[in-house]
A and B are shown apart, each in its own frame.
Chain A
Amino acid sequence: MAGKTSLEEAVEKLKAGIGAENVLEVKYQPPRNVFVLVKTEKLKDAVSYIMKNLNYQYVITITGVDLIKQNQMEVIYHLTDYSNTISLRVRIPRDNPKVPTITDIIPGATLYEREVHDMFGIVFEGHPNLVKLLLPDGWPEDLHPLRKDVTVQQIRERLEEERKKGVRGI
């Protein structure tokens, strides 16, 4: 399979580019996808290396995952050259979730960072305008619906409470 070998090559180059010790885990997934875990401080280097030197053009989206058992959060950047996809990920502590923004490298990532911020409360440092995207205006700032420790019931009760307090739009 031609696709796979070029993906393996890409990972080799990435390792050489940002230093093999900063790549913590590599997992291939059929048909043309690889998950690569890198150190958080090397995230921006990795993204710009992939975009500039490997000629990947496009970030499909950014996924947040709440790893509540490890007390961590995961941010996954799905980067693609349209055919192969590198899912670059970082793990960050759950009680202080912060990653640098990549919007200066890829302007198209703006909305995705805002979405992850809405849903998980992960802060993208340096983002030009990190305001709510999907959640309504009156939504409480500290309520992040996709975190594993809030249930649908709790969200609803909380929103009802806010509504009673006079907050509109929720």
Chain B
Amino acid sequence: MALGLVKWARIKSPWILHFNTGACNACDIEVLAALTPRFDVERFGILLKGSPRHADVMVVTGSVTRQIRDRLVRVYEQMPEPKFVLAVGNCAATGGVFQQCYNVYEGIDKVIPVDVYVPGCPPRPEAIIYGVVKLLEKLAKS
């Protein structure tokens, strides 16, 4: 019963954490644009949080650079269960244009598990919102 309530609350208002692992900023400004008045994801109850300990969903942008890898893993570990990861952009999915650069991993799924990928370079804010909605569906089923 209580678990059901928690799940209901989570679907109604998932809190997200935004992590830049070495993106070119384009994905970040699009994630941010999704939060600002034109797209306004807050009307779906999606809130951006500053700390991993408060977050349900981690939105990761960018190819994982080697320096940031350990940090990414640590932040991921700090999130409470159940946790979900949304990979925004081609970089986060496969390394994108930065494939073959010596200092990046090709995709964040090499480092942490990913639930939903949003392709695009950068994806439009609509696409990011769609990705979040897909994730919510997944959440509802979990």
Contact = CB atoms under 8 A, between A and B. Distances in A.
Q: Do chains A and B touch in the complex (CB under 8 A)?
A: yes
A14 B64 CA distance: 47
B66 A136 contact: yes
A156 B102 CA distance: 6
Contacts of B101: 152
B25 interface: no
B67 A152 contact: no
B71 to A, nearest CB: 9
A169 interface: yes
B120 to A, nearest CB: 26
B67 A170 contact: yes
Main SS class of interface, A:
loop
Interface string B63-87: 0001100100000000000000000
Contacts of A159: 66, 102
A152 B102 contact: yes
Max chain A CB contacts within 10 Å: which of B66, B70, B101? B66
Contacts, number: 17
A155 B66 CA distance: 12
A43 to B, nearest CB: 31
B66 A168 contact: no
A97 interface: no
B100 interface: yes
A156 B70 CA distance: 17
A145 B100 CA distance: 13
Nearest to B65: A136
Contacts of B66: 136, 159, 169-170
Interface of B: 66-67, 70, 100-103
8 interchain residue pairs of minimum CB distance: A136-B67, A155-B102, A152-B102, A170-B66, A169-B67, A156-B102, A145-B102, A152-B100
6 contacts: A136-B66, A152-B102, A155-B102, A156-B102, A159-B102, A169-B70
Given A159-B66, A169-B67, 10 more contacts: A136-B66, A145-B102, A145-B103, A152-B100, A152-B101, A152-B102, A155-B102, A156-B102, A169-B66, A169-B70
